[in-house]
Amino acid sequence: MTERRLLKIPQHVAIIMDGNGRWARQNSLSRLQGHKRGSEVAREIVTASARIGVSYLTLYAFSSENWRRDPHEVSGLMSLMKHYLESEAQELHKEGVRLKVIGERELLPNTILDLVEKVEELTKANKKLTLQMAISYGSRAEILHVVKQIAQKVRDRRLDPDKISEQDFEQHLYTAGIPDPDLLIRTSGEQRISNYLLWQVAYTELVFVDKFWPDFTPEDFMEALLTFQSRERRFGTAA
Ligand code: FPP
| pLDDT digit string, tens, across residues 140-185 | 999 999 999 999 999 999 999 999 999 999 999 999 999 999 999 9
Residue of minimum CA distance from atom 5 in ligand 1: 62
- Coil vs helix vs strand at 207: strand
Residue of minimum CA distance from atom 7 in ligand 1: 61
Mention every residue, 6+ apart, whose C-beta is less than 8 A from residue 187. Answer: 15, 16, 17, 18, 19, 209, 211, 212, 213, 216
Tell me the CA–centroid distance for residue 29 and ligand 1, in Å.
Answer: 14
State the DSSP code for 82: H
Tell me the CA–centroid distance for residue 8 and ligand 1, in Å.
Answer: 29
Tell me the CA–centroid distance for residue 87 and ligand 1, in Å.
Answer: 19
- Measured from the Cα of 35, ligand 1's closest atom is 11
pLDDT category at 3 given cuts 50, 70, 90 is: low
Catalytic residue among 20, 66, 180, 195: 66
Whether 5 shows a pLDDT value over 70: the answer reads no
β-bridge pairing 97-102 and 183-186: unpaired
So what's the pLDDT on residue 4? 46
Computed over every residue of the chain, the mean pLDDT equals 95
| Domains in the chain: boundaries | 8-138+180-227
| pLDDT digit string, tens, across residues 86-141 | 999 999 999 999 999 999 999 999 999 999 999 999 999 999 999 999 999 999 99
So what's the pLDDT on residue 235? 78
- Coil vs helix vs strand at 96: coil
Known catalytic residue at 18? yes
| pLDDT digit string, tens, across residues 20-64 | 999 999 999 999 999 999 999 999 999 999 999 999 999 999 999
Residue of minimum CA distance from atom 24 in ligand 1: 21
Tell me the CA–centroid distance for residue 19 and ligand 1, in Å.
Answer: 7
User: CA-CA distances (angstroms) from residue 130 to 135, 147, 211?
Assistant: 15, 26, 26
pTM to 2 decimal places: 0.95
**Residues whose beta carbon lies within 6 Å of some atom of ligand 1:** 17-22, 35, 38-39, 42, 59, 61-62, 66, 80-81, 84, 213
Helices (H) and strands (E) in the chain, counts: 7, 6
Is residue 165 exposed (0-12), middle (13-18) or buried (19+ Cβ within 10 Å)?
A: exposed
d(CA 206, CA 215): 19
Q: Which of 200, 215, 171 is nearest to 56 (CA)?
A: 200
Mention every residue, 6+ apart, whose C-beta is less than 8 A from residue 38. Answer: 17, 20, 23, 213, 214
Fold category of 8-138+180-227 in CATH: Undecaprenyl pyrophosphate synthetase (3.40.1180)
Known catalytic residue at 66? yes
